[in-house]
């Protein structure tokens, strides 16, 4: 749980989402300097019943958590210094497990997630309603899950990354 995960944005998103769709549980896996402030914000917003903080888990146990999830929320912070050059690996990991990513449309998120095909990639203010709608539409969720997994298998191997990372980084930095 670091500044690169946008974890400070998740409690606000959660508050807006549970107003629209109460049957959710946010499972936060990991530790770090931003965990305690996140927990405090969850408590301040009275969202404790919608969160489970798993803490540190062994790397080999992470797929088990992802298998249980329907969606994976990942926000990049809205700061250039935090977004420039950051590739959020957890998004392709979500996708590879068939977990539909819900991300804000910043940095590499716009390249990783094809909106309404492999997940939701939009402005933060639009994501709670779109996520609630997605969770109610089992067919759409299943289709996106399948497409997310297919995309991850095709696009996120070492050869593909080696061929494309420099051009994506330069484009994201506004240098290409």
The per-residue pLDDT for range 43-77, each reduced to its tens digit, is: 999 999 999 999 999 989 988 999 899 999 998 87
pTM for this one? 0.85
The per-residue pLDDT for 171 is: 76
| Model confidence at 127: pLDDT above 90 | yes
Q: Is a pLDDT exceeding 70 seen at residue 161?
A: no
Tens of pLDDT, residue by residue over 69-81, are 999 999 887 765 5
- Tell me whether residue 134 is exposed, middle or buried, using C-beta atoms within 10 angstroms of its C-beta: 0 to 12, 13 to 18, 19 or more: buried
At 81 the pLDDT is: 54
């Amino acid at each position: 749980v670091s500044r690169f995960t946008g974890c400070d944005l998740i409690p606000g998103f959660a508050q807006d989402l549970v107003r629209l769709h109460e049957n959710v549980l946010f499972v936060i896996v990991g530790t770090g300097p931003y965990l305690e402030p996140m927990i405090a914000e969850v408590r301040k917003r009275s969202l404790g019943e919608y969160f489970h903080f798993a803490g540190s888990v062994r790397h080999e146990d992470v797929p088990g958590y992802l298998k249980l999830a329907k969606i994976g929320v990942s926000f990049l912070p809205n700061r250039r210094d935090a977004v420039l050059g950051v590739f959020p690996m957890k998004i392709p990991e979500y996708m590879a497990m068939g977990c539909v990513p819900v991300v804000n449309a910043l940095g590499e998120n716009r390249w990783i997630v094809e909106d309404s095909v492999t997940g939701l990639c939009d402005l933060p203010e639009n994501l709670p309603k779109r996520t609630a709608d997605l969770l109610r539409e089992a067919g759409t969720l299943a289709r996106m899950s399948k497409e997310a997994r297919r995309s991850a298998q095709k696009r996120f191997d070492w050869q593909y990354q080696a061929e494309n990372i420099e051009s994506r980084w330069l484009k994201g930095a506004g240098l290409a």
